[in-house]
Amino acid sequence: MVRAILEGRKTVTRRAMKTQPELTDGFWRWHGAGWSEGVKSVPVVHGHSLSTGCPYGQVGDRLWVKEAWRAPASLDAFSGSDIAERCIAAGYRNPSAPIRFEADGALNSAKDWREFGSTPREATAGRYRNARFMPRWASRITLEVTAVRVERLQDVTEQSAWDEGVQDFMGGPTPWKNVVAPVSVHGFAAVWESINGAGSWAANPWVWVVEFNRIEEAAKP
C-alpha cells in the first residue's frame, strides 16, 4: 500500500467505524440519529454531516503515513524518540537521521547516508523497525484529505476499489479501461480480509471512506 501511494495508484482508504449503527424499524441508527437504509450518500446526524465525526481526518487535514524503516546500524539501540532527543540535546533544531524505507529501499537523503558518523563511506542500514514505531519526523509521505463519507463496505465500486491501490486477482495491474469483471473489488476484498481477519468482508460493516492526494515534497540530494 505504501508503494501504491508513492506510485499514485492509491488515493482512498476505508476504515471500519468503531461504533457500528444498528438497523431499527428500517432505519440505521447511530448515536440516536437515523438515516434510511437505502441512502448511499453522506447521512446527517444532529444537523451535521456524519463525516464531521470521522476520526481519520476532515477535508483539508494533512495526514502523515507510517511505514517500515531502518536507521543506521549504529543507532540500533535507540528508539525513534531516543534519536529525536539526542538530536535536540546536541543542538539541532529538529530531529533527523538517515532513514531507509523498507517498502522500496529509498533513502531520505543519500548525502546524509554518505556523511553519517565518522567513517568515510555510506552507513550500514540497521535493524528492521515496524511501521508502528515510525515517529513523525521520519515520515516521508504527507497526504491531504479531499473528501470524507460513510458507506457499507460492500458498496465499494470497481473504480473506488481500483483507487484503493489493489491489483487484480491474477497478481498484476490491469488498466481500468480494460476491466470487464469485478476484479478490483475481489482484490480489495482479499486485501481487506488479510488486514481485518477472516469473515470481515462478509460482515459488510459501515466504513469511513477517506479520499486524499499526496503532497509532493522536494527530494533531498
First CA to last CA distance, the chain: 25
Average pLDDT of the segment spanning 91-119: 91
Given a cut of 60, whether residue 156 has pLDDT beyond it is: yes
Domains of the chain by start residue, with CATH = 2-62+141-215 (3.10.400), 69-138 (no CATH)
Per-residue pLDDT, 70: 97
- Taking only the tens place, the pLDDT of each residue in 6-34 is 999 899 999 999 888 877 777 777 765 56
Q: Which of 5-14, 113-122, 132-141 is least confident?
A: 113-122
Cell of 72: 543506521
What digits encode the pLDDT tens for the residues 157-194?
989 999 998 864 445 444 444 444 467 888 899 899 99
Q: Summarize pLDDT for 191-213 with one digit per residue, the tens.
A: 999 999 999 999 999 999 999 99
Confidence grade of residue 79 (pLDDT, cut at 50, 70, 90) = very high
Cβ burial 31-64 (10 Å sphere, 16+ → b, else e) = eebbbeeeeeebbebeeebbbebbeebeeeeebe
Q: Give tens-digit pLDDT for 143-153.
A: 999 999 888 99
Predicted pLDDT of residue 170: 41
- Contact yes or no for 220/198 (Cβ under 8 A): no
Mean pLDDT score of the chain = 84
Q: Give the per-residue pLDDT at 69.
A: 98
Of residues 10, 14, 70, the one with CA closest to residue 195:
14
- Beta strands 12-16 and 22-24, pairing class: unpaired
